[in-house]
């Protein structure tokens, strides 16, 4: 039961974090330990080995690892801020520490990615524009990235699998949905 509650808490946490404000997806630090290659794959997806999508996911992972909301914001689309705050981010980190221990190590593993078709993009856009009440959102490309978040604390450990949708908005890539 404890594991179920922990996983549920993490899923709620990950979902709510996608609703944080975004500054531009700037280049993250060079900490290559934040994102790991999936050990079951011989090669990483080609597009995830370059900076196009990788910087977005590294900013996201680095924000958690360093417990720094400003870094996390760099990975999120600007329209997501309306439904979340730095206070929510701090509360989720506190929950992580309560479940896993004070000394957290978070590693994001990119399992695979898939570029969405025009029809799939339209469905996602309709969901986003309806949910966030946005009328003029233009996203030219969307990529679905399947990840596993490995959480290691000094008291417990766990893994959570999640899909993130990265969207290209005005020539910049952001997490737009998860």
Complete domains list, the chain, with CATH = 2-25+39-177 (3.10.450.100)
What mean pLDDT comes out for the span 79-98? 79
26 vs 128: CA distance, rounded Å: 23
With contact defined as beta carbons under 8 Å apart, do 22 and 77 qualify?
yes
115 vs 141: CA distance, rounded Å: 8
pTM score, two decimals?
A: 0.71
143 vs 125: CA distance, rounded Å: 13
156 vs 154: CA distance, rounded Å: 6
Query: What is the Cα gyration radius of the chain?
Result: 16
Instruction: Give the side-chain half-sphere CA count within 13 A for 94.
Output: 6
With contact defined as beta carbons under 8 Å apart, do 14 and 160 qualify?
yes
Give tens-digit pLDDT for 18-64.
333 333 334 445 444 555 555 554 444 444 444 567 788 888 888 88
**pLDDT given for residue 159 in this prediction:** 92
How many CB atoms are located within 10 Å of the residue 120 CB? Answer: 14
**pLDDT given for residue 3 in this prediction:** 44
**pLDDT given for residue 141 in this prediction:** 92
103 vs 122: CA distance, rounded Å: 42
């Amino acid at each position: 039961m404890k594991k179920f509650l922990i996983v549920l808490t993490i899923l709620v946490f990950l979902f709510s974090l996608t609703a944080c404000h975004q500054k531009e997806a700037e280049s993250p630090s060079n900490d290559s330990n934040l994102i790991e290659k999936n050990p079951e794959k011989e090669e990483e997806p080609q597009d995830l080995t370059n900076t196009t999508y990788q910087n977005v996911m590294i900013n996201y992972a680095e924000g958690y690892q360093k417990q720094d909301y400003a870094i996390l914001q760099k990975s999120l689309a600007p329209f997501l801020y309306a439904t979340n705050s730095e206070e929510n981010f701090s509360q989720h980190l506190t929950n992580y520490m309560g479940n896993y221990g004070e000394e957290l190590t978070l590693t994001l593993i990119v399992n695979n990615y898939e570029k969405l078709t025009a029809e799939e993009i339209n469905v996602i856009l309709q969901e986003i524009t309806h949910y966030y009440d946005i009328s003029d959102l233009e996203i030219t490309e969307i990529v679905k990235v399947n990840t596993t978040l490995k959480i290691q604390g000094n008291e417990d450990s766990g893994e959570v699998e999640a899909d993130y949708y990265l969207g290209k908005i005005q020539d910049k890539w952001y997490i737009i949905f998860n």
